[in-house]
A and B are shown apart, each in its own frame.
Chain A
Amino acid sequence: MAWFAKRLLGILLVLLEIMFLIFIMLRVIPGDPASVLLNEHVSPAAIEKLTVSMGLDKSLSEQFIDYLKDALRGDFGLSYYLHKNVGELIYEAFPYTARLACMAAVFAWSFGIVSGIVSVMYHDRILDYLFRGLSLLGISVPIFMVAMFLQYLIYYRLGMLPLNFNGSFVSLLLPAVALGWDSAGSVARITRSQLMEQMGEPYIDTAKAKGLYFSRAVLRHALRNAILPVITVMALQLSGMLSGAVITESIFGVPGIGRLALTAIQTRDMPLLQGTVLFSAFLIAVGNLLADLINSILDPRRGLK
C-alpha cells in the first residue's frame, strides 16, 4: 500500500513538472499570443480586451499559479477556438480514442506475440525470415502510408470497409490496423529477441535434458521469462495509443484526442494543446505504473519496489 501511495505521489509530481515545463515552453513564443490569435486588422482595443480575458496581462508566475489553481479544481481552461472547457472536450473525445486504441492493441499484440514465438520456433527458416521481414516492415513504414494504402486497397479497390470513421465498429477496423501496425512490429521484434535470449539460458538445456521438445521448451519455459519486458513495452504502447493517434485519427476522421491536439496546433489553441499534452502524460504515467504492477505480480524475484 505504501508502495502504491508513493507511486501515485510520484505521478502527481511528474504531472506537476510537466505542467510547468509545457507552460514555459508554450510561452517562449515571440510576439503577443492575443494578436497572433486575432486577425492583424483588429483594433488594439480588441486585442487588449482579449489579453485581459486570457489573463495574459499578468506576469508569467501569476499566470502559472492561476493555471495551477484552476487545474486543481479540474478546470484546464477554455479552448480559444472551440469555446468549450478543455476537460470537457477531452472527456468527449476520449471514448473514440479508447475504442480505437484497444482494437489496435488487440491486433498489434496478438500478431506481434504470435509472430515472435513462431520466429523463434522456426529459427533461421522461411517462416522466421518472413515474420522478421514483416516486423521490420512494421517499424519502418510511415503510419500514413499504411493508412493510405489500406484506404486505397480495401476501400477503393475491394470496396470492403468504410473509408472514414462513422461511429460503427467496422469503420474502426482500418484505423485500428493502421495504428497497430508499427506496434505489432515492435512487439514481434522484442518478443523474438527476448525469447532468443532466454533460449540461450542454461535452464532451457535443463528442460531439454528433461525430455521437453524444443517447441514446448519455448512455450512452457522461455516464454514465461521473456514476457516481462514485452509487457512493459505493451503498456507503454497502449498508453501511447490512448494519448492520441494524431495521424490515424486525422486520416480516418476519428474525433479523438489526437484530432483535438491537431486542431489545437492548427488553430493555435494553447489551453487545448496544454490539456491534451497533460492528459497524455497522465496516461503514460498510469501505463508505467500498470506495467510495474503486472511485472512485480508475475515475477517471483521482485517484490513491490
Chain B
Amino acid sequence: MSRDILLEIKNLTVSVKKDGKDFPIVKGVDIEVPRGKIVGIVGESGCGKSMTAKSINGILPRAARITGGSIIWHDKNGEERDLSSLSEKKLRTICGSEISMVFQEPMTSLNPMMRIGKQVEEVLLIHGLAKSKAEAKEKVIKMLDEVGIAEPELRYNSFPHELSGGMRQRVIIAMAVIAEPKLLIADEPTTALDVTIEAQILKLIRKMCEIHSMSVIIITHNMGVVSKICDDAYVMYMGRIMEHSTTERLFRRPVHPYTRGLLSSIPRIGEDKEYLETIPGNIPEIDKEIRGCEFCLRCSDDIQSCFFEKPEEKEIEEGHFVRCHSVEVLRGGSKVL
C-alpha cells in the first residue's frame, strides 16, 4: 500500500459478558487510519462503533473486552506496536500524548469539581510536556485561546458548570489537542450540541487536524457529519463493517442497502416527499444469534442466501468495499442503481 498508515485495526472482536456468556458486539472489524486524514465510522446507536473506538485506548466498560484481532500503531520511525496487547501502564503513556479522545457528553465528560484549566493542564503534567507549572499554565491559556474560548485567562479558573455545552466541548478539544497527539478519536462529538454549534465544532476539529497534522477518527450516527468532514467512511451495522470507501465515492455510489437507507433518511431541503424515509425495523438484541447477513431482517432487497450465509467483503471498485450478497446481482446489471 502506498498510503501512509498511522493506525490499523485488524480483525478486531470485542465481546460483552451477559449472564456469564460472551456476546460479540464488534465482529472482525478492519479499519485503516491514514496519517493526517479524517476517518468516519457511521452507524446506528448500539452498532459497536463506540466500542471499536474505546478499544483503541483501552477504556472499554467493565463488562466488555477485546477477544480477538489487533490494533497496530505505526510509529514515525516505522516501529509497530499492538495496542490491544499493551499493559495498562504502557497504554496510558500513549493515551493523551499520542492518542486522545473527545467525548459525546460535554456536560459530564469534565470533572465537575475541578477547574477547567487544571483539567487541561493535567495532560501536560502527566506526560511531562511542561518544564514548570508556569509554563504549563501558559500553554493551556494559549490552547484555550486557539480553540476559540474568549478570555482564556479568566476561563482557566472556571468550573465546568459555568460554561455552555459548546464551550465545554471546546475545552475537551483543547485537552485532546494540547499534547499534539497523532490521533484524535471523536466519539459523537456533536450529538449533544445544537446544530449551529455542531458546525463550529466540526470546523474546529478540521482546523486542529490541519494545524497539528493529526489523524482523526469520528464516530457518528449522522451521515451529514461524515459528508462534512470525513475523508474516508466506514458504515457499521451490528458489529460489522458493511461498506467502506472514501466519503466522496460512498456518497456518489452507495451500494449496501443499509448505506442507502442511511443516506435516504437524511432530509433534504427542496425535496418534495410526503414522508421522511426510514429503515424499517430495529436492531436485534445482541444475544440473538444471526446465521446469515446481520442486516437481512431489515433489508429491502434480500435474496435467498442472505438468511443462511454471511456475505464476504468484496471490492466493487478501487478502494470501495461492500459486504452484501446482492453485489453480484447488482453487477450483473439486473438492477439499476
B partners with A: yes
Interface residues, chain A, with chain B CB atoms under 8 Å away = 201-203, 205-214, 220-221, 224-225, 298-301
9 further A-B contacts with Cβ under 8 Å, apart from A210-B126, A300-B113, are A205-B101, A206-B172, A209-B95, A209-B103, A213-B88, A224-B114, A225-B113, A301-B112, A301-B161
Q: How far is the CA of A201 from the CA of B123 in the complex (A)?
A: 19
Chain B residues near A209: list those with CB within 8 A: 57, 59, 95-96, 99-101, 103, 176
Asked whether, in the complex, the Cβ of B113 is within 8 Å of the Cβ of A299, the reply is yes
CB distance from B129 to the nearest CB of A (A): 11
Q: How far is the CA of A202 from the CA of B92 in the complex (A)?
A: 17
Q: How far is the CA of A299 from the CA of B113 in the complex (A)?
A: 7
Asked whether, in the complex, the Cβ of A206 is within 8 Å of the Cβ of B112, the reply is no
Q: How far is the CA of A80 from the CA of B104 in the complex (A)?
A: 69
A213-B89, A213-B92 known; A208-B58 Cβ under 8 A: yes
A210-B122, A300-B113 known; A205-B59 Cβ under 8 A: yes
Asked whether, in the complex, the Cβ of B123 is within 8 Å of the Cβ of A211, the reply is yes
Top-6 shortest CB links A-B = A211-B96, A209-B101, A210-B96, A300-B159, A224-B113, A211-B95
Q: How far is the CA of A213 from the CA of B91 in the complex (A)?
A: 9
Is B32 part of the binding interface, using a Cβ–Cβ cutoff of 8 Å?
no
Chain B residues near A301: list those with CB within 8 A: 112, 159, 161
Chain A residues near B101: list those with CB within 8 A: 205-206, 209
**Cβ-defined partner of A210 (8 Å) among B100, B108, B113, B161:** B100
**Cβ-defined partner of B103 (8 Å) among A206, A221, A224, A225:** A206
Is B164 part of the binding interface, using a Cβ–Cβ cutoff of 8 Å?
no
Asked whether, in the complex, the Cβ of B93 is within 8 Å of the Cβ of A211, the reply is yes
Q: How far is the CA of A213 from the CA of B94 in the complex (A)?
A: 12
- Closest B-chain residue to A216, C-beta based? B126
Within 8 A of A (CB), among B151-208: 159, 161, 172, 175-176
Asked whether, in the complex, the Cβ of A206 is within 8 Å of the Cβ of B110, the reply is yes
Is B253 part of the binding interface, using a Cβ–Cβ cutoff of 8 Å?
no
**Cβ-defined partner of B108 (8 Å) among A201, A213, A220, A298:** A201
Asked whether, in the complex, the Cβ of B123 is within 8 Å of the Cβ of A210, the reply is yes
Q: How far is the CA of A203 from the CA of B161 in the complex (A)?
A: 13
Chain B residues near A207: list those with CB within 8 A: 111, 122
Chain A at the B interface: mostly helix, strand, loop or mixed? helix
- Closest B-chain residue to A224, C-beta based? B113
Is B291 part of the binding interface, using a Cβ–Cβ cutoff of 8 Å?
no
- Closest B-chain residue to A211, C-beta based? B96
Asked whether, in the complex, the Cβ of A211 is within 8 Å of the Cβ of B92, the reply is yes
Q: How far is the CA of A206 from the CA of B107 in the complex (A)?
A: 12
Q: How far is the CA of A48 from the CA of B58 in the complex (A)?
A: 83
Give the one of B59, B92, B175 with max A CB within 10 A.
Answer: B92
Is B109 part of the binding interface, using a Cβ–Cβ cutoff of 8 Å?
yes
- Closest A-chain residue to B176, C-beta based? A209
- Closest A-chain residue to B158, C-beta based? A300
CB distance from A277 to the nearest CB of B (A): 38
Chain A residues near B111: list those with CB within 8 A: 203, 206-207, 221, 224-225
Asked whether, in the complex, the Cβ of A208 is within 8 Å of the Cβ of B92, the reply is yes
A207-B111, A299-B113, A301-B159 known; A212-B103 Cβ under 8 A: no
Is B22 part of the binding interface, using a Cβ–Cβ cutoff of 8 Å?
no
Chain A residues near B123: list those with CB within 8 A: 210-211
Chain B residues near A211: list those with CB within 8 A: 92-97, 123, 126-127
Q: How far is the CA of A213 from the CA of B89 in the complex (A)?
A: 7
Kindly supply a per-residue 1/0 record for chain B positions 117-137, scoring 1 wherever the CB is within 8 Å of any chain A CB and 0 otherwise.
Answer: 000001100110000000000
Chain B residues near A225: list those with CB within 8 A: 111-113
A208-B95, A209-B95 known; A203-B110 Cβ under 8 A: yes
Asked whether, in the complex, the Cβ of B95 is within 8 Å of the Cβ of A206, the reply is no
Question: Can you give 13 contacting A-B residue pairs, CB < 8 Å?
Answer: A203-B111, A206-B109, A206-B110, A209-B95, A209-B96, A211-B126, A212-B122, A213-B92, A225-B111, A225-B113, A299-B113, A300-B113, A301-B112
Q: How far is the CA of A299 from the CA of B97 in the complex (A)?
A: 30
Q: How far is the CA of A201 from the CA of B103 in the complex (A)?
A: 12
Q: How far is the CA of A129 from the CA of B59 in the complex (A)?
A: 24
